[in-house]
Structure 1
Amino acid sequence: MSELEYLKEALDHVDYALDILRKVARKSRTMADSLEDIIYHLEEAGDLLDSMISRESSK
């Protein structure tokens, strides 16, 4: 597996984790407050991974 494929796989996992955490946040208001920072940071990580993938794909 190439580095680019690993990055894409990592992004898929981040996106999946975000989906799960958003579902939990919708079901539980008390947990939503606690999950807010985690979701934010995972979104940022996803954006950074996406940028890396774009850079690597254009080489």
Structure 2
Amino acid sequence: MARGEFLSISLARSPGHHAGRSGAAMGCKTLGFCIFNNAAIAAVGSHKHRDSGVLLLHYT
């Protein structure tokens, strides 16, 4: 970090993972809607700062 180099990893769930069809999913007390797409925000930020890029892995 002293040289201004950064390497980061984020293991994040997909947006909206707390929301079920009829309300809160899996016993959650709130709907917890994720209104931002974390992967898209990371990709745009990387592009703006001319970083090496973003790797997205999708799993089900």
Q: Give TM-score, length-normalised by structure 2.
A: 0.40
* Bigger share in helix: 1
Larger Rg: 2
Greater relative contact order (CA < 8 Å, ≥ 6 in sequence): 1
TM-score (norm 1): 0.40
